[in-house]
Amino acid sequence: MVRLRTSFANYVTVWVVLLHFVLLPALFFAMGYVIRKSHEDLFVEHARTFARVLAEEFEAGVALDSPERTEDLLDLAISHGEARYAELFDRGRSIRSQLGSTGIVAPRHTDLGFAQGGDNIYFIVLPVVRSGHNAELRLGFDEQPTQDRIHLALTRMLWVLASYLTVAVGIAVILSYRLSRPIHQLRNVSRAIASGDYGQPLNVSSGIRELHELATDLEDMRRELVGVNDRLRTKVKEMEISEGQREELQKQLRHRQRLETVGTLASGIAHEINNVLVPIILFTDTVLKDLTLSSASRADLERVLAAARRAKDVVKKILTFSRELDEAKLALIDLRGVVTEGLNLFAALAPSSIEIRTEIDAAIPLVKADATLALHLVINLCSNAYQAMEGAEGVLTVGLRYQERASEGAITQLCVEFWVSDTGHGMDPGTLERIFEPFFTTRSVGQGTGLGLSVVHGIVESFGASIAVETQIGVGTTFRIFFPTTAQAGIRSDTDVPVA
Amino acid sequence: MQNILIVDDEPDVRDALKRVLDLAGYSARTAANAMDALAELERIPADVVITDIIMPKINGVQAIEMICKAFPATRIIAISGGGNFGITSYKPRAITTTAYLASAQSAGAHLVLTKPFEAVELIQAIEEVLGVGHA
């Protein structure tokens, strides 16, 4: 079944019209009956009174004795009593007023009611009793004027009711419009809310209490939704941040696992190579003891031995590094001293084409680290920077500062930042991804072991510090190491450490 | 002539050591694992045992403990090239050459030597353990 839906205004209007269409005819017929009845009663009353008075006149007076006088009285009924017919019947003789309408035949008895017989005349028949007479007065009153008055009254009433209907429908339309306007506004706002627009405030001022309350409730709901929405947005943002942190942690974990895998392999390979180097070194050594060897063979064997020793050194580097990390003694140290010492060592190696700048803050708190390993760190990073600028002029900047570092969760942490910046060739993303892997190197064979930055990474991890790299091809690279500090760590600024 | 037993699962390492020691005037024998070494010592006692640490079945540390118990007079030199017992037991920065050699020393080794080493270093090590023993 299809249910017809119409607007509130139409609904109210239709119902008002329907109601009046039922009520107004009923009202019309009821009031019509009253009007008709009162007019008829008045007419009948008048006719009967007049007839009684005339009959008494005949009974009391002498009119019956003379036909002329009888006719005069009957004429009076026509001229003053609104009758159209007047007749006196006495002893078989009939006297009729000549003023009345002709062609009317009176009945022998009084009409039972108004507008009977279809002749538009109300007849009254009265006996006139006087000694010697047995007369009968017959009067006929014209119903037409009364009929006209009734008709006129009904017509007027119809006009009044029609006017009333028009006004009532008009009021209903205006009223329903006034009612439906705030409802429309409420609807618009709730639609806006449903479609996600909570910003539109609700300004419904209705004199109707229920609508006013509904508007107030809706406005409260909207405000609540705005609040909930804001809270949700904050929550989602927080979740996005924590998701970002999780991804970052996972990335770090993957990186760490890869480093560990590579480290495991490296350690295993170191063991194998060491075992292989034992017979190489010892047998070569033994053969070299043979005095009958030609000088050329001896020179060749010396080179075998030298190569084996170099291999031994490479492997030793890995294992020594592991051991150093293993034996790292973390203590609160002043990084300024370590950085200065590292720079002094490095400056002796660096060619004059490289300019070394320092940006070391005066006040740096102590950080938890191992002094020997920290020195390794400085030298490794400086060597790496220098190699990135090899064969060209460049600037190497080493900095140390105490600052707040904002991490992903918008939590700021106090830390000491140590950075080494070069103006070298920079790195592509593929290289950047792998720089901390052991044995990963971009340099040609024999120029580097590829251990430098993995050593840096290992050292940074053993300190519980973190490392970040910024690089741009052709512009340079900056390594930043963040040492977490605690509020308890005192800030050291008593002495200025000279920098070479 | 001092009697020396070399225990290592690598034939090349065993032979190289034997060659150096033979040339240096020692009487050197070899064993591929700890069980063979014990049997060999049972047969003819040795003055010095040079043993690897990482070996299949019975590792060097266990072998040192057994030799110390059965032949208290024998001087022991532990040698190791680092690495780890097995990839699954890998602990970064925990098990290194130093760790192996330290545990060998605590098990009873008189001297530890990191692989690879020069012939001179080996001879010096043997002289050292024997010198200490005969002083």
Would you call B118 an interface residue with chain A, using a CB distance cutoff of 8 Å?
yes
SS3 assignment, position A481:
strand
Question: Å from A292 to nearest chain B CA?
Answer: 16
Residue A188 corresponds to which tokens in the numbers above? 């618009």
Q: In Å, what is the CA distance from A104 to each residue of A66, A74, A94, A141? A: 24, 15, 14, 12
Interval A280-315: pLDDT, tens = 999 999 999 888 888 899 999 999 999 998 888 877
Interval A227-284: pLDDT, tens = 888 899 999 999 988 888 888 888 777 776 766 666 667 777 787 888 899 999 999 9
Report the pLDDT value the prediction gives residue A189, as an integer from 0 to 100: 81
ipTM, interface predicted TM-score of the complex: 0.83
Kindly determine whether residue A323 and residue B122, on different chains, have CB atoms separated by under 8 Å: no
Report the pLDDT value the prediction gives residue A364, as an integer from 0 to 100: 86
Report the pLDDT value the prediction gives residue B91, as an integer from 0 to 100: 38
Q: Is A70 a residue whose pLDDT tops 70?
A: yes
Which of 47-66 (A) contact B at CB < 8 A?
none
pLDDT band at residue B124 using 50, 70 and 90 as cut-offs: very high
Kindly determine whether residue A285 and residue B119, on different chains, have CB atoms separated by under 8 Å: yes
Q: Is A367 a residue whose pLDDT tops 80?
A: yes
Please answer whether residues B17 and B52 qualify as being in contact, where contact means their C-beta atoms are separated by less than 8 angstroms.
no
Distance of CA B20 to the CA centre of its chain: 15
Question: Å from B126 to nearest chain A CA?
Answer: 15
Lowest mean pLDDT segment, chosen from A28-42, A104-118, A155-169? A104-118
Which of 257-316 (A) contact B at CB < 8 A?
260, 263-264, 267-268, 270-283, 285-286, 289, 308, 312, 315
Report the pLDDT value the prediction gives residue B126, as an integer from 0 to 100: 93
Signed CA dihedral, A146, A148, A154, A160: sign only: negative
Phi, psi for residue A290 in degrees, rounded to 5: -70, 115
pLDDT band at residue A2 using 50, 70 and 90 as cut-offs: low
Q: In whole angstroms, give the CA distance from residue A184 to residue A179.
A: 9
Lowest mean pLDDT segment, chosen from A57-71, A94-108, B39-53, B75-89? B75-89
| CATH code reported for the domain at B3-134 | 3.40.50.2300
Strand-strand pairing, A491-492 and A364-365? antiparallel
Q: Where are the domains of chain B?
A: 3-134
Report the pLDDT value the prediction gives residue A494, as an integer from 0 to 100: 47
Would you call B71 an interface residue with chain A, using a CB distance cutoff of 8 Å?
no
Report the pLDDT value the prediction gives residue B88, as an integer from 0 to 100: 29
Q: In whole angstroms, give the CA distance from residue A272 to residue B14.
A: 15
Q: In whole angstroms, give the CA distance from residue A230 to residue A237.
A: 10
Q: In Å, what is the CA distance from A126 to each residue of A75, A107, A110, B118? A: 17, 12, 8, 172
Kindly determine whether residue A278 and residue B16, on different chains, have CB atoms separated by under 8 Å: yes
Report the pLDDT value the prediction gives residue A38, as an integer from 0 to 100: 94
Domains and CATH numbers, chain A: 8-166 (3.30.450), 328-500 (3.30.565.10)
Tokens 């209490």 belong to residue: A209
Q: Is B51 a residue whose pLDDT tops 80?
A: yes
